[in-house]
């Protein structure tokens, strides 16, 4: 299983729109074993959402986005995950 960061250009969304998108995403994920939404970060200033997913490949990420009606403007596979704890 690979880890991916997805950049979504969404513009400014209300909390209600975010809630609707999140619920649709989870609904689609229920039918896609092997694709797991880890977390997302919203930037109102840039009009973007950055999402972290585990999936078998980038095509699975694209398929999830298509089914959920979400943009997936950039999909980047994570090569290595690091944290400050590794350097203490």
Q: What is the CATH number of domain 2-79?
A: 3.30.70.3090
Give residue limits of the domains in the chain.
2-79
User: pLDDT digit string (tens) for 17-71?
Assistant: 999 999 999 999 999 999 999 999 999 999 999 999 999 999 999 999 999 999 9
Write the burial class of residue 67 (CB in 10 Å: 0-12 exposed, 13-18 middle, 19+ buried): middle
What pTM value is reported for the model? 0.92
């Amino acid at each position: 299983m690979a880890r991916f960061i997805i950049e979504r250009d969404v513009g400014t969304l209300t909390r209600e729109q975010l809630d609707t998108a999140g619920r649709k995403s989870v609904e689609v994920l229920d039918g896609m074993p092997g694709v797991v939404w880890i977390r997302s970060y919203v930037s109102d200033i840039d009009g973007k959402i950055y999402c972290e997913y585990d999936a078998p490949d980038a095509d699975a990420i694209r398929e999830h986005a298509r089914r959920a009606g979400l943009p997936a403007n950039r999909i980047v596979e994570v090569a290595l995950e690091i944290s400050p704890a590794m350097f203490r």
